């Protein structure tokens, strides 16, 4: 896939001790990280170099038009961060990445950890390292949660990665269901599965994107749930909770990988997808 705004990178060849190399191999096997990711993360922390880049696959405008054939696999996604969200081939569920592991929430309410060969049509990931944190004492709605995060964001022109940990007194979320090729996003999400759970310990994973990014990302807040036991997950619609730990990371660099599939190359992506995204991202009327 072609890439847009790619930060420059260099190859590095070094000799390491057998003990260190074995430890690196064991770490990669245990966490699913690649060697490149592990070394880059260690160097970034050791040298004090901030690495606040978002990696994105495809565009929101393509999703709206029904272009959601898988174009990158989970193994590749893991090389670009340890945190993020997305969806899978043919909108087959919601994706969450936390601490280097990728999870797939399905329409029947189950969650699995898919193999690295599993493909995704849209994804956003990052190496999460918080710039600021706060405790949210009480939140009684999605709108209240957004207002709390607004207070910690630094700019309306930077992307923000968001992690929220705690016990959710009530959480309302949805999971997209597998759709036929070419089905537009609004139609595809009109039969999404919705769930409401109480007293769920877990993590909210996601991003805030500027309004100007609406043709290639989802503007505003986009958060997914992953429960601590990895049995529940999906796209957040509503929330009530107390004593949540909120962490945010500013992201001032974006790497985008664009599909080269026939569907993407032929799609008309000139329309403003904002209205369709807003409808698709919300709860469905009952």
Residues 240-263, mean pLDDT to the nearest whole number: 92
| pLDDT winner (highest mean) among 57-71, 100-114, 263-277 | 100-114
Nearest-Å Rg of the Cα atoms of the chain is 19
Asked if residue 285 has pLDDT above 70, the reply is: no
The string of pLDDT tens digits covering residues 72-113 is 999 999 988 999 999 999 999 999 999 999 999 999 999 999
Task: Kindly report the average pLDDT of the chain as a whole number.
Answer: 89
The string of pLDDT tens digits covering residues 203-251 is 999 999 999 999 899 999 999 999 999 999 999 999 999 999 999 999 9
pTM here is: 0.82
Where do the domains of the chain lie, and which CATH numbers do they carry? 132-252 (3.30.1330.80)
List, as own/partner pairs, every contact residues 272-279 make where C-beta atoms lie below 8 angstroms and the sequence separation is at least 24, other chains included. Answer: 272/214, 272/215, 273/60, 273/61, 273/63, 273/64, 273/214, 273/215, 274/214, 274/219, 276/64, 276/184, 276/185, 276/186, 277/60, 277/64, 277/185, 277/214, 277/218, 277/219, 279/186
d(CA 218, CA 107): 22
Lowest mean pLDDT segment, chosen from 22-36, 108-122, 223-237: 22-36
What's the length of the chain? 286
> What is the structure's pLDDT at 239?
98
């Amino acid at each position: 896939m072609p890439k847009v705004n790619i930060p420059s990178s260099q190859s590095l060849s070094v000799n390491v001790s057998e003990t260190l190399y074995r430890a690196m191999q064991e770490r990669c096997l245990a966490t699913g990280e690649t060697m490149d990711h592990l070394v880059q993360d260690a160097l970034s922390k050791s040298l004090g170099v901030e690495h606040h880049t978002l990696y994105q696959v495809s565009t929101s405008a393509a999703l709206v038009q029904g272009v959601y054939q898988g174009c990158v696999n989970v193994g590749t996604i893991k090389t670009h961060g340890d945190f993020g969200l997305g969806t899978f081939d043919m909108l087959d569920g919601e994706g969450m990445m936390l601490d280097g592991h990728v999870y797939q929430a399905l329409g029947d309410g189950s969650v699995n950890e898919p193999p690295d060969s599993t493909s995704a049509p849209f994804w956003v990931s990052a190496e999460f390292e918080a710039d600021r944190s706060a405790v949210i004492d009480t939140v009684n709605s999605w709108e209240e949660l957004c207002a709390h995060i607004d207070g910690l964001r630094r700019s309306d022109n930077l992307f923000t990665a968001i992690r929220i940990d705690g016990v959710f007194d009530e959480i309302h979320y949805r999971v997209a269901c597998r759709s036929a090729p070419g089905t537009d996003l609004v139609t595809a999400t009109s039969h999404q599965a919705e769930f409401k759970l109480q007293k769920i310990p877990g993590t909210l994973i996601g991003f805030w994107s500027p309004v100007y990014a609406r043709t290639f990302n989802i503007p505003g807040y986009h958060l997914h749930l992953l429960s601590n036991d990895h049995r529940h997950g999906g796209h957040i619609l509503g929330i009530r909770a107390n004593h949540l730990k909120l962490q945010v990371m500013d992201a001032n660099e974006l790497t985008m990988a664009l599909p080269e599939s026939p569907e993407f190359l032929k799609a008309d992506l000139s329309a403003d997808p904002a209205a369709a995204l807003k409808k698709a991202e919300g709860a469905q009327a009952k």
